[in-house]
Amino acid sequence: MEYQIFTGTQIKINRGFMKSSFKLMYCGMSDENTFVIAPLITVGYQGFSPNIYYPKDLPVIRVDQLDFDVLEVTPDYIVLGD
**pLDDT tens digits, residue range 35-65?**
999 998 777 788 888 899 999 999 999 987 8
In this predicted structure, what is the pLDDT of residue 18? 65
Under the banding of pLDDT at 50, 70 and 90, the label for residue 15 is: confident
In this predicted structure, what is the pLDDT of residue 44? 77
| pLDDT score of 9 more than 80 | yes
**Total of domains in the chain:** 1
Which residue would you say has higher pLDDT here, 21 or 61? Answer: 61
Q: Is 11 exposed, middle or buried (0-12, 13-18, 19+ CB in 10 A)?
A: middle
Domain that holds residue 65: 2-81
